[in-house]
Amino acid sequence: MTAVPTASSEALLDFDRAHLWHPYTSMTDPAPTRLVTGAAGVRLTLVDGTEVVDAMSSWWAAIHGYNHPALNAALAAQAADFAHVMFGGLTHEPAIRLAQRLVDLAPAGLEHVFLADSGSVSVEVALKMVLQYQRGVGHPERTRMLTVRGGYHGDTFGCMSVCDPVGGMHSMFADVLPEQVFAPRPPAAEDGVAAWAEAFEAVAAAHAHELAGIIVEPLLQGAGGMHVYPAACLAVMREVADRHGLVLVLDEIATGFGRTGTFFAAEAAGVTPDVMCLGKALTGGYLTLAAVLCTPRIAVGLSHSESGVLMHGPTYMGNPLACAVALAGLDLLADGAWKADVGRIHAALTAGLAPVRHLPGVVDVRTLGAVGVVQLDHPVDVAKATEVAIENGVWLRPFRDLIYTMPPYVSTDEDLARICTAIGAAAGVA
Ligand SMILES: *Cc1c(COP(=O)(O)O)cnc(C)c1O
């Protein structure tokens, strides 16, 4: 079903251009936007009636597809009960059941749950947990985070400070960002692990006295450059954290819920973090919700800091609508069929993108789970690439030198073939 806009699409787009910011865009020289009037399954409908397969899953969130009957029903049922109540002093079944479910699903030991309202906020909360923990255990001098180059953890200030210092926004905000400690980016292949581990350990040892914790994205560095690295690096990080008394935070906001082939990416290394951030696919792309899980050691430790409490509490904390949709989404994952889907998508992307490797200007093609990445030797002409992808019936959102896909798990083999063709066509012109 497609909604007909109540105003002319030209009038709507004119207002959009003049007044509405889109992600990372200019108000004085706005990038083109397209008007969506409907979304069902893996397809978006544009105002001119064009249907495109969403190869981005709405920034990696809509894993079950759009307009899903079970998610719609969960949302409607909760809305009929109550849409929201404050979480201060009040609680409700959707939040309690979601927390139970997340604790069940998470690696053993992660037992305490903070429900935040976006991925970035969950990273801020995780950073606070780390700092408060160190104060609680008598190390107020341990205030810095160790991370690796090439990371992305969100757009708020604490998050920005642990994003890649070159690719991120450090140059612009250098004077106001906390200064964190950066180790080299993990290697792409196993044969680089030993040398990288040595460098990582050396950076940690040199700064151990002032370090509070480590934060990284496990296996896949997403918005920092779609870089895939061996699971063995995670075991190194766990070992280094333990040796130096650091809290290990894994940001699974992009990787959680099966995207890389295991339910959580860290499972591939058998590593359990002390703190874990979840978001994006948590609500299947319906509503903004994130979660921070931590171990009893962290929860008890931070309770010994001077405030005695975790100092965070957003207005929409534990939003019941979001929790209800998240539960319905987790129900859809409960039978484990996602694993076969992710395997099937992996095979289709690996085969379908192989010929793209031979195109001029393409320097790398890589896949991990339900992620397919084509890297060019130059920045992508996003407008051109988008245009060509739409002509091929696919929605793509390339960035920097990367054209990539993270399709919904419900994509059919036909959808996936179409996505690979569109990526090839976009790589050919961009
Ligand atoms: C998207 C993302 C975030 C930020 O989440 P928002 O919901 O956009 O604030 C943080 N970390 C990682 C790894 C992400 O992919």
Q: Choose which residue among 58, 122, 153 to substitute to test ligand 1 binding: the one with the highest number of ligand atoms within 8 A of its C-beta.
A: 153
66 flagged as catalytic: no
Report the pLDDT value the prediction gives residue 2, as an integer from 0 to 100: 63
Looking at the CA of residue 120, tell me the nearest atom of ligand 1. 9
Distance 149 CA to ligand 1 centre (A): 16
Average the pLDDT over 280-289 and give the result.
Answer: 98
Q: In whole angstroms, what is the distance from residue 102 CA to residue 112 CA?
A: 9
Report the pLDDT value the prediction gives residue 1, as an integer from 0 to 100: 53
Candidates 54, 274, 280, 401; catalytic one: 280
Q: In whole angstroms, what is the distance from residue 262 CA to residue 413 CA?
A: 21
Specify the amino acid at residue 225.
G
Residue 224 in contact with residue 167, Cβ under 8 Å? yes
Report the pLDDT value the prediction gives residue 342, as an integer from 0 to 100: 98
- pLDDT tens by residue, 324-333: 999 999 999 9
| pLDDT above 70 for 72 | yes
Looking at the CA of residue 217, tell me the nearest atom of ligand 1. 13
Confidence of residue 168 (pLDDT cuts 50, 70, 90): confident
| pLDDT above 90 for 7 | no
Whether ligand 1 lies within 6 angstroms of the CB of 259 is answered as no
Q: Choose which residue among 57, 156, 264, 280 to substitute to test ligand 1 binding: the one with the highest number of ligand atoms within 8 A of its C-beta.
A: 280
Helix ranges (H only) for 82-222 are 93-105, 119-136, 157-162, 170-173, 193-207
Report the pLDDT value the prediction gives residue 278, as an integer from 0 to 100: 98
Among protein residues, the one whose CA lies closest to atom 15 of ligand 1: 254
Average the pLDDT over 54-71 and give the result.
Answer: 98
Q: In whole angstroms, what is the distance from residue 313 CA to residue 90 CA?
A: 13
Q: Choose which residue among 60, 117, 152 to substitute to test ligand 1 binding: the one with the highest number of ligand atoms within 8 A of its C-beta.
A: 152
Report the pLDDT value the prediction gives residue 93, as an integer from 0 to 100: 98
Instruction: Output the CA–CA distances (angstroms, integers) from residue 252 to 41, 168, 216, 385, in the order listed.
Output: 25, 19, 9, 29
Measured on CA atoms in the order 112, 114, 115, 117, is the torsion positive or negative? negative
Tokens representing residue 149 in the block: 């180059």
Report the pLDDT value the prediction gives residue 122, as an integer from 0 to 100: 98
Q: In whole angstroms, what is the distance from residue 333 CA to residue 44 CA?
A: 23
Candidates 54, 117, 128, 152; catalytic one: 152
Give the number of other Cβ atoms within 10 Å of residue 298's Cβ.
28
Tokens representing residue 214 in the block: 């480590």
Confidence of residue 199 (pLDDT cuts 50, 70, 90): very high
404 flagged as catalytic: no
| pLDDT above 80 for 52 | yes
> What residues are paired with 275 via a beta bridge?
249, 294
- Model pTM score: 0.97
Specify the amino acid at residue 301.
G
Report the pLDDT value the prediction gives residue 174, as an integer from 0 to 100: 82
| pLDDT above 70 for 32 | yes
Give the number of other Cβ atoms within 10 Å of residue 309's Cβ.
10
Give the number of other Cβ atoms within 10 Å of residue 83's Cβ.
12
Annotated binding site for substrate: 59, 152, 280, 313, 397
Q: Which of 4-8, 48-52, 298-302, 348-352 is least confident?
A: 4-8
Average the pLDDT over 208-228 and give the result.
Answer: 98
Give the number of other Cβ atoms within 10 Å of residue 13's Cβ.
18
Candidates 54, 117, 164, 251; catalytic one: 251
Smallest CA-to-CA distance from 142 within 168, 171, 170, 180 is with 180
Q: In whole angstroms, what is the distance from residue 394 CA to residue 387 CA?
A: 10
- pLDDT tens by residue, 351-394: 999 999 999 999 999 999 999 999 999 999 999 999 999 999 99
Residues 6+ away with beta carbon under 8 Å from 41:
65, 66, 67, 408, 410
- pLDDT tens by residue, 117-162: 999 999 999 999 999 999 999 999 999 999 999 999 999 999 999 9
Report the pLDDT value the prediction gives residue 35, as an integer from 0 to 100: 97
Looking at the CA of residue 118, tell me the nearest atom of ligand 1. 7
Q: In whole angstroms, what is the distance from residue 216 CA to residue 219 CA?
A: 9
Report the pLDDT value the prediction gives residue 298, as an integer from 0 to 100: 98
Average the pLDDT over 293-299 and give the result.
Answer: 98
Whether ligand 1 lies within 6 angstroms of the CB of 254 is answered as yes
Tokens representing residue 20 in the block: 């509405």
- pLDDT tens by residue, 414-428: 999 999 999 999 999
251 flagged as catalytic: yes
Distance 253 CA to ligand 1 centre (A): 6
If residue 375 lies in a helix (H) or strand (E), which one and from where to where? strand 371-376
Q: In whole angstroms, what is the distance from residue 101 CA to residue 275 CA?
A: 17
Residues 6+ away with beta carbon under 8 Å from 144:
178, 179, 180, 181, 207, 210, 211, 212
CA angle 239, 243, 249 (to 5 degrees): 60
Torsion, Cα of 55, 58, 59, 63 (10° steps)? -80
Report the pLDDT value the prediction gives residue 331, as an integer from 0 to 100: 98
Whether ligand 1 lies within 6 angstroms of the CB of 152 is answered as yes
- pLDDT tens by residue, 220-241: 999 999 999 999 999 999 999 9
What's the length of the chain? 430
280 flagged as catalytic: yes
Helix ranges (H only) for 292-412 are 296-303, 320-333, 337-353, 382-391
